[in-house]
Amino acid sequence: MRSSDFNIPLRNSKFEIRNLALLVLLIACGRNTTPTTHDDLGRAVNLPPTLTRAVTLAPNLTEIMFAAGAGDKVVCTDDYSDFPPGVAKLPKVGGLEPNIEKIVACRPDVVLATTNGNHPNLAPALAAVHIPLYVVRTDRLDEVADTIAKLGDLFGAKHPYAGAHRLRVVLERQRRHRSPSPRVMFAVWTNPLYVAGQKTFADDLFRLTGATNAVAVAGWPQYSLESLISNPPDMLLYPRKAVGAAAVEQLFRATPELRAKMQAVPVDDNLFTRPGSRVAETAQQLNAILDGWSMLHK
């Protein structure tokens, strides 16, 4: 860089040379300053001015990026991302414990993760290689649309809020009021039994479609067979691949008194376990299941 770039004459003074060097450094730093934003954990995250390359570490985030109009910015994903079509062909960086070397090889501007299920070493490992980690919260149904809008804006999508608005409109069309309201339980695992409790996106879907969550506690707790027997749901939903009919039959053998009281219904794993951009489709399928129950219990 020449002295004429700053209109400052150079002399043979060490003091002036030192000042010039400091000025160059300050200007260079000013040109490369990255904006600071805060993720959903409240962490300060320094991001490049323009985000063009992202690694997603959860399938629902991959789907959300495409719904936000920023799917072309996704360069690598976790091992389980398979939607929309073509995503399965993207380079994979691992599952519950992502491979940092593979992430580095993707040359991302940012790594996107959810607030749940992250390996404790993820944040310090990414910090060590100077890759920003941006964490988003999608625990509740409303937070899915919020995240679509947030990521659309963050990645400079052409219409950053369109996907979020569209999802809210389509979800509202699935709102139902049922009398009687079927008591539903969603089991993500059966041995031991783990279920969707209150204040989860699954619970929000139940409420939206006119069902009642049979689980009174919050989160995704382990649920005792004694509690299941003493207060059985009308309907048990379970992911057909992760759990399967054989595991549900084993549950019924352990609780034979429930066989005539509780209807077991298999559902699509990806739709019912991913709080992503297809939650309206999940609500539609849930409504179809509940409509069948309501017809039998008029």
Where does residue 91 fall: left (phi above 0), alpha (psi -120 to 50 degrees), or beta otherwise?
beta
Mean pLDDT value of segment 43-64? 96
Domain ranges of the chain: 1-30, 36-159, 183-296
**Cβ distance 266 to 238 under 8 Å?**
yes
- pLDDT 10s digits, 159-191: 999 999 999 999 999 999 999 999 999 999 999
Residue 273 makes CB contacts below 8 A (sequence gap 6+) with 188, 239, 242
Mean pLDDT value of segment 72-81? 97
Q: What is the pLDDT at residue 35?
A: 67
* Whole-number Å distance between alpha carbons of 157 and 77: 19
Kindly tell me the number of DSSP H helices and DSSP E strands found in the chain: 11, 11
β-strands 263-267, 193-195 pairing? unpaired
Residue 34: band (very low, low, confident or very high) from pLDDT cuts 50, 70, 90 = low
Q: Is the model's pLDDT at 5 over the cut of 80?
A: no
Q: What is the pLDDT at residue 21?
A: 45
What's the CATH architecture for 183-296? 3-Layer(aba) Sandwich (3.40)
Around Cβ 178, how many Cβ atoms within 10 Å?
A: 16
The model's pTM is 0.85
159 token code pair: 């219409």
- pLDDT 10s digits, 237-278: 999 999 999 999 999 999 999 999 999 999 999 999 999 999
Same fold flag, 36-159 and 183-296: yes
CA distances from 133 to 26, 34, 45, 176, 230 (A): 27, 14, 7, 39, 44
Secondary structure E strands in the chain: 36-38, 44-46, 54-56, 74-77, 110-114, 133-136, 183-190, 193-195, 212-213, 235-239, 263-267
Identify which of 186, 154, 149, 187 has the alpha carbon closest to the alpha carbon of residue 168.
149
Superfamily of structural domain 36-159: Nitrogenase molybdenum iron protein domain (3.40.50.1980)
